[in-house]
């Protein structure tokens, strides 16, 4: 499977899992990002892309 796990980084640099099995990542208006898992679970966060590793199935977002 090729899904990724999305992590969110807080202002102290700590990462926590935001959403597992992410299939879709889309920008939204107002600086938000919408994540959708393969199970249809959705999360919208006000964040920016910090890093992405497709080989490691890892997406890291930073809160704005």
In terms of DSSP bridges, do strands 58-63 and 4-9 run parallel, antiparallel, or are they unpaired?
A: parallel
* Predicted structure pTM score: 0.91
If 0-12 CB within 10 Å is exposed, 13-18 middle and 19+ buried, where does residue 12 land? exposed
Class of domain 4-63: mainly beta
Task: List, for residues 9-64, the tens digit of each pLDDT value.
Answer: 988 899 999 999 999 999 999 999 999 999 999 999 999 999 999 999 999 999 98
49 close to 34: Cβ distance less than 8 angstroms? no
């Amino acid at each position: 499977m090729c899904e990724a796990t999305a992590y969110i980084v807080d202002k102290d640099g700590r990462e926590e899992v935001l959403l597992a099995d992410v299939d879709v990542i889309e920008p939204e208006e107002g600086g938000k990002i919408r994540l959708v898992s393969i199970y249809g679970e959705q999360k919208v966060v006000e964040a920016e892309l910090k890093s992405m590793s497709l080989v490691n199935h890892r997406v890291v977002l930073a809160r704005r």
